[in-house]
Amino acid sequence: MDEMLLSKVRLSVVAELLSAEWVPFKELCEAAGTTNGNLGSHLAKLLSSGYIEEEKRFVGRRPQSRYRITKDGRSAILRHVEALQELVEAADQG
């Protein structure tokens, strides 16, 4: 299993990004059910791992940060899910 994805917040973020091109910070915060500060900390870890990328832009006159999953992030979540499936299968056989 991928240690980066064992966090509920980081797993929620990556799961939210799987089906979208770009997701604004505010939407990720709502999806993860966490505070801005806590989400920012988790996003920093995902960014440094290369699992997500960030784009800062202006919408009207307001700044907006938005995020998307990278190829490495997509591969990581797929490997993580496979490891979880193997764990469940092993438990069923035991």
From first to last of its 94 residues, the chain has per-residue pLDDT tens of 899 999 999 999 999 999 999 999 999 999 999 999 999 999 999 999 999 999 999 999 999 999 999 999 999 999 999 999 999 999 988 6
pTM of the model: 0.90
Per-residue model confidence (pLDDT) at position 92: 86
Give the CATH number of domain 3-93. Answer: 1.10.10.10
pLDDT value for 80: 96
21-41 burial by CB neighbour count: b if 16+ within 10 A, else e?
eebbbeebbebbebeeeebee
Res 78: pLDDT: 95
What residues does each domain of the chain span?
Answer: 3-93
